Amino acid sequence: MKLVERDTELSVLEGLLDACAAGRGGAVVVGGAVGSGKTALLRAFRERAAPTGALWLQATAAAAEKDVPLRVAGQLLRSAELAGEGAEPVVWLPPPAGGGGAPVRAAAGAIPAEVAVNVVPRVCGILFAQARKRPVVVCIDDVHQADAYSLECVLYVVRRLAVSRILVVLGESGGTAWEDSPARRELLRGPACRFLHVGPLPRDGVVAMLAAGQKGRRSAPPVAEFHRLSGGSPLLMEALLDDYADAERAGAAGPVPGEAYERAVAQCLSRSDDVTRRTAWLLAVLGERAAHGGPAELLGVSRQAGERALRALHDMGLLADGRFRHEAGRTAVLRRAEPPRSARLEARVAQVLYEHGASATALARHLVAAETVDAPWALPVLLKAAEAALARDEVGTALDCLRVARESCADEQQLLEVRLALVRAGWRVDPSAAVRHLSALTEAAPAGRLTARAMRELVGHLLWFGRADDALEVLRVVEEGEEEGCTGVGLESVRFWFAYGYPGLAGKYRAEVAAGPYRGTAAGARAPGLTPEQDTQQRALALMASVLDQRVTGDVTGRAERILQETRPEDRTPAAGLAALVALIVADGLPEAARWCEILLAEAREHRTPMWQSLFASAKAFIEIRLGELAAAEESAHTALTVVPPEGWGAAVAAPVAALLYTKAATGRLDEAVAHLKVPVPDASFRTPAGLLYLWARGHYQLAAGRPYAALEDFHRCGDLMARWRLDLSGLVPWRTDAAQVHVALGDDRRARDLLEEELVRTGRRPLWTRGVALRVLASLAERAERPRLLGEAMDILQRGGHRLELAYAMAELSYSYWDVNDDSRARIAARKAQQLMRECGIKAPVLKSSPVGAVSACPPERSGAGCAGHPPAELSGAELRVATLAARGYTNRQIAAALFITISTVEQHLTRAYRKLGVQRRTDLATRLEPDTVEDSGLDGCGDGAQRDCLRAG
């Protein structure tokens, strides 16, 4: 800091130094506010004293070292390398643990008499010895922070100044407890000591500072405004000049306090004492309302201490007439100053703010910090603040308010209200934290201690955690208490989620929902008398219901997109977004579903609601599974269970676990899949659509693990539940085609064909993706000549819908069918495409080095021994022939399974039937029953010369 307008003070100090050189020692206390330029004045005085030859001993006290004995005295001696000088070294003694004689003074900071008698004279003796050689200046800045031992040394020297050439210069900051200390009083009472006040800069000083920084500026700065804002503080003036330079470059005409000013305010506070900092914080929080009780009363300090802190803030240029000179000063205190950790103070502040009509949000900050406030107004304020925080997506703030409300609530009825609010807020972060409140709320519902709105909310939370029976009882209580015609949208929404969340338990609500207000909006019409948020949610739920009930007409994808597009993000509830996504997924609008899922997921992240993030991540995983993006699906499902752990998912946990289970099974990582089977899935999940997804995924795992009968059980259980719930939609869970594939693998072609024909009848001629899958599986049962046509139609449907994994399977089947008719070129092309698609989907497709299908030129001879050259054995199906051919060539069951994209168990079953039909007992006998040129061993790494026609290298 550059020294300005301090010539008078420097003259006084130079006069004292001249007297010291003449043998009249003295002492001076240089006092002023923080940032007033005391340190700059002392540095300037040091420069003036250097030519006189005086020995300058410098020390700066610090609050962090106030309890370290003789810390300041040690700095003084080390500054001139005097410590230990002479024949007798200085011995630093800490306070004796057991006493050491009566203390020198009774005040706080007293030192043992032994130290005062033995140590202090020896330390000060070094100074007196130096003073006999030349004048000595002992300069201690921030003396109010010095340790008690060093202060005793200063007093020892000051008492003996009359006979020494020592000048003691002490810099102190005003507004601290040091002003009333016994040590300071003794200093100022001494005849050789005087006080030198460093006050704020006058107007001329401000002009001088502005002139020094005027170079390069286009216009003269407004002196009066700088003087008013800085309060004459050199530190604040320098900061304002820095901010003024930035503001002038931006086109501002006058000083605008900015970052530099804020840093300077923070520096002032950091160098002030605790009472001053707390007073500044209190004034920043309360403003003019602080006058209601006064800082001293609110802070719980003496009136004298409170007045001293106010004076210090005025002197350092922050306040004028008890108010901050600029709003930037108040903002800087709130942003930079650490709030005092005093529950009592926070409670007092909250009381003052409440009496002056502060908002619930402003009050809540102090109520939370106070932890408990015994006032009747506190609980309603906390509940209101929590609700406002949830509206701003500040869930953590809401939970803090509710935690304090619960701890300070003595009334049982009010406690129920707090519990419900905790459940509502906690669900958005981690619902598992809300479980412990549900029992008390459920018990209170039949007793009439909850409002209808509270019970409607409670039903939703009970359903989430699988307590459907309890939810049904609470819903009956609500229905009994509802007046005719006053059910409202809230109750209809509860019935909706009951009807479609637990379709087997509350089937009667399906009819009520279909006939209720959702019927009119199912076609896209807007319902009157609703807020935009309610209207969006009702239209989305109506569309989802019409899709699930299979009564939808028109373009579902277009209608779902219109609902989402025509809604402002703030009016688009997560529930509405989830309902629209379900409608898009079931209706096979996958590209649109993927795009909107990304948008909704981003909005959930922006609103900082982990539960909705997890729900949309789970929906995204199933979209990606159907699109064949298995790696992305695995990541999305993992995110869903990471953002909110499994225990927070309630009955819905089955959905993200199912996504992980399927992706691991589809990519062949069965050991990893087992870990997901160990995740606890409650029984209640199997009363929900999420349970259907889990059964479907587990069926695929069982099939991949070589347990086809267990897989069939899961797929058929899906079908039974869906039929019972009247939710038999292939777009939800394609259980028929999955079960048919297992029946084909087991050789039960009749049952497989029945399921596939049933599926094709249900889809009609509509190009649904499930029809494409059904055609693919049906092709394996068709005549060889018919297979390419069926597979071609299947691939057209699957390609249009974006189902790349199913398209890859169909392409692989097409490759086999071409081999069956000896069309090697097309077979190779189809195989390459299939493997490329599989790699894109995340499946490590094997490289086929021999034809996986029946590219044979002869069949085994009849049992009578007669041959039937030119034809494959009539008894074997295409799948059996492919497996038998590769087995005869020396492939292991595992290699055959990898080559044909089937399980090892399926390979074993095909071989068993082939053995029976061909009348052989062992693997080595297969070659004798097939045409020699067909089964000629080409080795595992390539085809033999005699089998070039059968060699396929895809990729």
Whether 688 has a pLDDT exceeding 60, the answer reads yes
Spatial strand order of the sheet with 26-32 comes to 55-60, 136-141, 166-173, 26-32, 193-198
Classified as helix, coil or strand, 166 is strand
- Contacting residues for 665 by C-beta, under 8 A, at least 6 apart: 673, 697, 700, 701, 703, 704, 705
Compute the C-alpha angle 100/104/107, nearest 5°: 115
Average pLDDT over the chain reads 82
Q: What are the pLDDT digits (tens) for 535-555? A: 788 888 888 988 988 877 778
Amino acid at 538: Q
pLDDT per residue as tens digits for the range 36-70: 999 999 999 999 999 999 999 999 999 999 989 99
- Best CA proximity match to 855, nearest among 895, 832, 886, 812: 886
Q: What is the DSSP letter of 526?
A: P
pLDDT number for residue 693: 97
Asked if residue 3 has pLDDT above 50, the reply is: yes
> Are 667 and 629 in contact, with CB atoms under 8 Å apart?
no
DSSP codes, 393-418: T-HHHHHHHHHHHHHT---HHHHHHH
**Structure confidence at residue 866 (pLDDT):** 37
Span 200-225, mean pLDDT? 78
**What confidence score (pLDDT) does residue 952 get?**
28
Question: Between the ranges 112-121, 774-783, 921-930, where is the mean pLDDT highest?
Answer: 774-783
SS3 of 136, please? strand
Instruction: Please state the separation of Cα 336 from the chain's center in Å.
Output: 25
What does the block give as tokens for 586? 């079931």
**CA dist 201 → 6, 33, 85, 376, 434 (Å):** 9, 12, 43, 50, 60
28 phi, psi to nearest 5 deg: -140, 135
The separation between CA 608 and the C-alpha centre of its own chain, rounded to angstroms, equals 7
Q: pLDDT at position 264, please?
A: 92
The tokens describing 685, both together, are: 């999940």
Q: How far apart are CA 509 and CA 53, in angstroms?
A: 101
Task: Look at residue 139 and give its three-state secondary structure.
Answer: strand
Is residue 675 over pLDDT 90? Answer: yes
Could you give the angle at the alpha carbon of 431 between the alpha carbons of 425 and 433, nearest 5°? 85
Most trustworthy range by pLDDT among 571-580, 848-857, 923-932: 571-580
DSSP β-ladder status, 323-324 and 136-141: unpaired
Distance CA 362, CA 346 (A): 12
For the chain, the helix, strand and coil percentages under 3-state DSSP, each to the nearest 5: 65, 5, 30
pLDDT band per the 50, 70, 90 thresholds, residue 103: very low
506 pLDDT above the threshold of 90 = no
Confidence class for position 253, pLDDT limits 50, 70, 90: low
Q: Please report which confidence band the pLDDT of residue 171 belongs to, taking 50, 70 and 90 as the band edges.
A: very high
List all residues 6 or more positions away from 711 whose beta carbon is below 8 Å from its beta carbon: 699, 700, 702, 703, 738, 742
> Cα–Cα distance between 20 and 599 in angstroms, integer?
80
Q: What is the mean pLDDT of residues 745-761?
A: 91
Residue 175 confidence (pLDDT) above 90: no
Picking from 179-188, 515-524, 942-951, which range would have the lowest pLDDT averaged per residue?
942-951
pLDDT at position 38: 92
- Cβ neighbourhood burial of 335 (10 Å; 0-12, 13-18, 19+): exposed
Q: What is the DSSP letter of 29?
A: E
Are 183 and 151 in contact by the 8 Å Cβ rule? The answer is: yes
Tens of pLDDT along 578-598? 999 999 999 999 999 999 999
Cα–Cα distance, 380 to 377 (Å, whole number): 6
Q: Which residue has the higher pLDDT, 183 or 816?
A: 183
The pLDDT of residue 734:
94
In whole angstroms, give the CA distance from residue 6 to residue 3. 7
φ, ψ of residue 194 in degrees (nearest 5): -135, 165
pLDDT in tens, 417-433: 899 999 888 888 888 88
Within 10 A of 686 (CB to CB), how many other CB atoms are there?
A: 18
- pLDDT at residue 213 in the model: 67
Q: Is the pLDDT of residue 662 over 70?
A: yes
Above 60 in pLDDT, residue 359?
yes
Instruction: Please return the burial class of 955, using the count of CB atoms within 10 Å of its CB with bins 0-12, 13-18 and 19+.
Output: exposed
pLDDT at 868 over 50: no
pLDDT at 490: 63
User: What percent of the chain stands above pLDDT 90?
Assistant: 38
Instruction: Give the pLDDT confidence score for residue 934 in this predicted structure.
Output: 47
Amino acid residing at 522:
A
Q: Please identify which residue in the block is written with the tokens 């300077």.
A: 264
Distance (Å, whole) CA 491 – CA 494? 5
| pLDDT (mean) for 512-537 | 59
User: Is the pLDDT score of 718 beyond 90?
Assistant: yes
Read off the pLDDT of each residue in 754-764 and give the average, rounded to a whole number.
88
Given a cut of 50, is residue 380 above it in pLDDT?
yes
Asked if the model's pLDDT at residue 252 lies above 80, the reply is no
pLDDT digits over 801-841, tens only? 899 999 999 998 898 888 877 788 888 888 889 888 988 99
Calculate mean pLDDT across residues 267-293.
80
pLDDT per position as a tens digit, 632-642: 999 999 999 99
Beta bridge partners of 435: none
Give the type of residue at 133.
Answer: K
Q: What average pLDDT does the segment 392-413 reach? A: 86
Name which of 729, 736, 732, 728 is nearest 753 in CA terms. Answer: 736
Residue pair 572/561 in contact by the 8 Å Cβ criterion? no
pLDDT at site 619: 95
488: left (phi over 0), alpha (psi -120 to 50) or beta: left
Lowest mean pLDDT among 136-140, 174-178, 437-441, 819-823: 819-823
136-141 and 55-60 beta bridge pairing: parallel
pLDDT at 762: 85
**Which pLDDT score, from 0 to 100, does residue 897 have?**
81
Sign of CA dihedral 464, 469, 472, 476: negative
Q: Which helix (H) or strand (E) holds 796?
A: helix 787-801
Q: Which residue has the higher pLDDT, 391 or 265?
A: 265
Greater confidence (598 vs 322) lies with 598
Could you please report the per-residue DSSP string of 185-213?
HHHHHSTTEEEEEE----HHHHHHHHHHT
In 3D, which of 491, 485, 458 has the Cα closest to residue 474? Answer: 458
What is the model's pLDDT at position 631?
93
pLDDT reported for residue 630: 94
Highest mean pLDDT among 24-33, 891-900, 925-934, 942-951: 24-33
- Residue 489 reports pLDDT greater than 90: no
CB contact set of 63 (below 8 Å; sequence gap of 6+)? 145
- Could you give the CA distance from residue 428 to residue 393 in angstroms, rounded to a whole number? 9
